[in-house]
């Protein structure tokens, strides 16, 4: 198996209805299979470690406070 591929799996995420369409759209833009259900869940198909990191990043943009996002960005800027 390719070292950069994971066994494909799906996971249903509970996200506020007001946010799920935005998340679904962004994940689709990134080439990640995502589907918004009428029950409020967002189903995401993870195929690689990169997919997992991108899903995490998109969700952090939605859920992290502005201060947390600023601190994370500053840490990245100061890394050698």
CATH number at residue 31: 3.30.1370
The answer to whether position 35 is within a domain reads yes
The answer to whether position 1 is within a domain reads no
The answer to whether position 34 is within a domain reads yes
The answer to whether position 59 is within a domain reads yes
Question: In the predicted model, is pLDDT for residue 1 greater than 50?
Answer: no
Instruction: Give me the phi and psi of 27, to 5 degrees please.
Output: -65, -40
Direct distance between the N- and C-terminal alpha carbons of the chain, in angstroms, rounded to an integer = 33
Q: Is this model's pTM higher than 0.75 or not?
A: no
Question: In the predicted model, is pLDDT for residue 50 greater than 90?
Answer: yes
Q: Indicate the number of domains in the chain.
A: 1
Q: What's the rounded mean pLDDT across residues 38-65?
A: 87
Per cent of the chain over pLDDT 70 is 81
Domain that residue 20 falls in = 9-77
């Amino acid at each position: 198996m390719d070292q950069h591929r994971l066994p494909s799996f799906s996971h249903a995420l509970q996200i506020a209805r007001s946010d799920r369409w935005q998340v679904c759209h962004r994940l689709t833009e990134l080439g990640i299979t995502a589907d918004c259900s009428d029950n409020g869940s967002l189903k995401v198909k993870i195929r690689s470690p990169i997919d997992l990191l991108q899903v995490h990043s998109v969700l952090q943009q939605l859920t992290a406070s502005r201060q947390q996002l600023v601190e994370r960005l500053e840490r990245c800027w100061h890394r050698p």
